[in-house]
Structure 1
Amino acid sequence: MSKRILVVDDSATMRDLLIRYMQVDDNLVAGADSGAQALDLMKTERYDVIVTDIAMPEMDGFGLIRAISELDWDPSVILLTGHDPRTLQSAKELALAYSINLLGALTKPVNKDMLLSMLSDVADTRTKGRTGTETVLSESEFMRGLMTDGLSPVFQPKIDLKTGELAGAEVFARWRAPTGGYLGAGAVIKVAQEKGHMDVLTYRMLELALQQQGKWRRQGLDVALSINVAADNLRKSDFADVVTGLAEQFGVEPKMVRLEVTEADLDVDVRVPLEVLSRLALRRFGLSLDDFGTGFASLMRLQKIPFDEIVVDRMFISRAGEDDTARIILESAIDLAHKLKLKCTCEGVEDEEQLRIVRSLGADIAQGYLLGKPMTANEFLIWYEDFRDGVITIPGLKD
Structure 2
Amino acid sequence: MFNGQTVLLVDDDPTQLLILSGYFQGLCAGAVLEAGSAIDALDMLRQPGQAIDLIVSDLMMPDMDGIELLRELKHAGYDGKLALISSLNQAMVNSARKLGDMHGLNIIGTCRKPLRKAGLDALFLAPDMPRGNLEAATNVDFTAEQITAALENGAIRPFYQPKVDVKQKRITGAEALVRWLDPERGVLTPAQFLPAVEQLNMSSELTFALMKAVFRDIASWKRQGLEVKTAVNVTAGEIGVLELPDRIGQLLRDEGIEASDIAIEITENAVLEFNTDSLEVLSRLRLMGIDIAIDDFGTGFANIKSLKEYPFSELKIDQSFVRGMTDDPFSQETVRAAVTLGRQMNMRLLAEGIETAEEWEFVRKRGVDEVQGFLIAKPMPVEEFVPFCLRNDGLVSLPPVSDLEDAGQIAS
TM-score range (shorter-chain normalised) is 0.5 to 0.7
Distance 1:360 1:242, change over 3 A: same
Aligned-partner Cα distance in 2 for 1:288–1:255: 14
Cα deviation code 1:128-159 (max 9, x no counterpart): x998xx99432211011111222111000000
Instruction: Decide whether the 8 Å contact of 2:272 with 2:306 is kept in 1.
Output: no
Instruction: Decide whether the 8 Å contact of 2:160 with 2:177 is kept in 1.
Output: yes
Deviation at 1:319, TM superposition (A): 3.7
Aligned-partner Cα distance in 1 for 2:137–2:356: 24
Aligned-partner Cα distance in 2 for 1:336–1:215: 37
Amino acid aligned to 2:178: A
Instruction: Decide whether the 8 Å contact of 2:274 with 2:309 is kept in 1.
Output: no
Deviation at 1:266, TM superposition (A): 4.1
Instruction: Decide whether the 8 Å contact of 2:271 with 2:301 is kept in 1.
Output: no
Match runs of 1:160-309 below 5 Å: 160-179=165-184, 181-262=186-267, 264-295=269-300, 298-309=303-314
Distance 1:96 1:210, change over 3 A: farther
Aligned-partner Cα distance in 2 for 1:173–1:305: 26
Amino acid aligned to 1:316: F
Aligned-partner Cα distance in 2 for 1:265–1:275: 19
Instruction: Decide whether the 8 Å contact of 2:314 with 2:350 is kept in 1.
Output: yes
Match runs of 1:13-32 below 5 Å: none
1:394 maps to what in 2? 398
Amino acid aligned to 1:395: P
Distance 1:280 1:389, change over 3 A: closer
1:349 aligns with 2:354: yes
1:374 aligns with 2:396: no
Amino acid aligned to 2:215: L
Residue 293 of structure 2 aligns to a residue whose secondary structure is strand
Amino acid aligned to 1:247: L
Amino acid aligned to 1:96: A
Aligned-partner Cα distance in 1 for 2:365–2:307: 24
Amino acid aligned to 1:393: S
Unaligned runs of 5+ in 2: 1-82, 84-107, 127-135, 404-412
Instruction: Decide whether the 8 Å contact of 1:169 with 1:223 is kept in 2.
Output: yes
Aligned-partner Cα distance in 2 for 1:381–1:180: 26
Please identify runs of 4+ aligned residues in structure 1 that moved more than 4 A: 396-399
Unaligned runs of 5+ in 1: 1-61, 63-86, 107-128
Residue 299 of structure 2 aligns to a residue whose secondary structure is coil
Residue 323 of structure 2 aligns to a residue whose secondary structure is helix
Distance 1:94 1:276, change over 3 A: closer
Please, which moves more after superposition, 247-256 or 283-292?
Answer: 247-256
Q: CA RMSD in A?
A: 3.0
2:118 maps to what in 1? 96
Aligned-partner Cα distance in 1 for 2:402–2:389: 17
Taking every aligned residue pair, what percent have the same amino acid on both sides? 28
Higher relative contact order (CA 8 A, sep 6+): 2
Aligned-partner Cα distance in 2 for 1:357–1:163: 16
Deviation at 1:263, TM superposition (A): 5.3
1:140 maps to what in 2? 145
TM-score using structure 2 length:
0.62
Residue 321 of structure 1 aligns to a residue whose secondary structure is helix
Cα deviation code 1:298-335 (max 9, x no counterpart): 22211111000100111221242112232122112112
Aligned-partner Cα distance in 1 for 2:259–2:394: 28
Distance 1:374 1:177, change over 3 A: same
Instruction: Decide whether the 8 Å contact of 2:351 with 2:363 is kept in 1.
Output: yes
Instruction: Decide whether the 8 Å contact of 1:173 with 1:188 is kept in 2.
Output: no
Distance 1:176 1:398, change over 3 A: farther
Distance 1:358 1:186, change over 3 A: same
Amino acid aligned to 1:312: I
1:315 aligns with 2:320: yes
Aligned-partner Cα distance in 1 for 2:389–2:140: 33
Aligned-partner Cα distance in 2 for 1:245–1:398: 49
1:55 maps to what in 2? none
1:333 aligns with 2:355: no
Deviation at 1:264, TM superposition (A): 5.0
Distance 1:269 1:329, change over 3 A: closer
Cα deviation code 1:255-296 (max 9, x no counterpart): 121100135534435321111111000110000000111116
Distance 1:99 1:377, change over 3 A: farther
Amino acid aligned to 1:307: F
Distance 1:143 1:385, change over 3 A: same
Aligned-partner Cα distance in 2 for 1:214–1:368: 25
Aligned-partner Cα distance in 1 for 2:223–2:349: 29
1:156 maps to what in 2? 161
